[in-house]
């Protein structure tokens, strides 16, 4: 039996030596010249770059969270609470309005124009600053407004706001609500609004300290996501000197009402 041993070529030996030493194998002058002849792409200039993503578009949104009638059996009122904004993801103009309209005129009218911007390093809260005007059947007051609005843990909608006006008057408002989805269409919403003032204002029937509370619970049915009729119960109460001024004007300091209305947005 004859065994043939293959003799390694010189090129194979060089390749084995390169693998053993970790060095790349040497290329011949012919190979180097052919690689140098391969054309290289020219670097792109700024004018040749593709267009940037248009992520600074302006959007708009309008919501009437409360557009309802309230009745105590002997007294009927219309209540509205709405807000809307227009702008980009970073800069927005907010318009807010709320109040009551009844047989004795318009009361608790509050209208605000605010600049809104996300708070750095927070996911769900925006800072807001602007102006508030108390416009109803009572004397008008104008305030500077500073506050935040957003979604707190456990999906609570929170709107704490701080107000300042002339003569050292300071006010604060805390507004919160929570949407509890019983089913995909039936939603229970508890809601409360508290107002505080540093000084009495007899002309507007507001006293220092805790002035008033407006709270309630509503059950709505989402016919569509944008149209939600609802029924519920609401309480409107006055406290401190606000209650005193209300009694002096011959009105009740607290009312429990049956409410029915429509929540709409666009």
The pLDDT tens digits of the residues spanning 39-57 come to: 666 665 666 666 666 668 8
In a domain, 196, yes or no: yes
Measuring CA to CA, how many Å separate 24 from each of 13, 30, 137, 213? 13, 17, 90, 82
Using CA atoms in the order 225, 85, 125, 171, what is the torsion angle rounded to 10 degrees? -120
Selection from 150, 157, 95 nearest residue 118 by Cα: 150
Question: The CATH number of the domain where 102 resides is what?
Answer: 2.40.160.40
Tell me which residue range forms the domain holding 173: 59-265
Give the per-residue pLDDT at 14.
47
Consecutive H or E run containing 266:
none
pLDDT at 257 > cutoff 70: yes
Give the per-residue pLDDT at 108.
93
In a domain, 43, yes or no: no
At 27, is the pLDDT very low, low, confident or very high (cuts 50, 70, 90)? low
Mean pLDDT of all residues in the chain? Answer: 87
Give the per-residue pLDDT at 227.
97
In a domain, 50, yes or no: no
pLDDT at 224 > cutoff 60: yes
Domain count, the chain: 1
In a domain, 12, yes or no: no
pLDDT at 6 > cutoff 60: no
More confident residue, 260 or 46: 260
pLDDT at 109 > cutoff 80: yes
In a domain, 14, yes or no: no
How do residues 165-208 score in pLDDT, each as one tens digit?
A: 999 999 999 999 999 999 999 999 999 999 999 999 999 999 99
Among 42-46, 225-229, 232-236, 262-266, name the one with the lowest average pLDDT.
Answer: 42-46
In a domain, 53, yes or no: no
pLDDT at 246 > cutoff 50: yes
In a domain, 256, yes or no: yes
Give the per-residue pLDDT at 104.
85
Contact between residue 37 and residue 31 where contact means Cβ atoms under 8 Å apart? no
Q: Please indicate, yes or no, whether the overall pTM of this predicted structure exceeds 0.85.
A: no
In a domain, 129, yes or no: yes
Give the per-residue pLDDT at 54.
67
- Kindly provide the residue ranges of all beta strands, DSSP E only, lying in the chain, ordered along the sequence: 59-71, 76-87, 92-102, 105-118, 125-134, 141-152, 156-164, 170-178, 180-181, 186-197, 209-221, 227-238, 254-265
């Amino acid at each position: 039996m004859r065994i043939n041993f293959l003799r390694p070529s010189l090129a194979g030996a060089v390749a084995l030596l390169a693998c053993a030493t970790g060095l790349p194998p040497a290329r011949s002058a012919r190979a180097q010249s052919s690689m140098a002849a391969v054309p290289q792409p020219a670097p792109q200039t700024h004018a040749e770059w593709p267009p940037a993503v248009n992520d600074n578009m302006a959007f708009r949104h309008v919501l009437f969270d409360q557009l309802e009638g309230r009745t105590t059996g002997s007294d009927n009122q219309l209540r509205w609470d709405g807000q809307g904004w227009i702008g980009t993801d970073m800069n927005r103009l907010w318009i807010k309005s709320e109040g009551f309209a009844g047989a004795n005129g318009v009361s608790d009218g509050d209208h605000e124009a605010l600049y809104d911007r996300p708070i750095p390093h927070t996911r769900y809260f925006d800072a807001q600053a602007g102006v508030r005007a108390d416009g109803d059947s009572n004397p008008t007051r104008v305030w500077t407004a500073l506050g935040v609005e957003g979604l707190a843990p456990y999906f609570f909608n929170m709107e704490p706001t701080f107000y300042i006006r002339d003569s050292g008057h300071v006010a604060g408002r805390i507004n919160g609500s929570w949407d509890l989805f019983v089913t995909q269409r039936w939603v229970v919403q508890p809601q409360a609004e508290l107002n505080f003032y540093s000084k009495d204002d007899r002309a507007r029937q507001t006293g220092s300290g805790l002035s008033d509370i407006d709270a309630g619970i509503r059950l709505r049915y989402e016919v569509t996501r944008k149209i939600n009729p609802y029924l519920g119960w609401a309480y409107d109460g006055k406290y401190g000197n606000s209650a005193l001024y209300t009694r002096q004007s011959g009105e009740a300091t607290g009312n429990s009402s049956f409410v029915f209305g429509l929540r709409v947005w666009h």
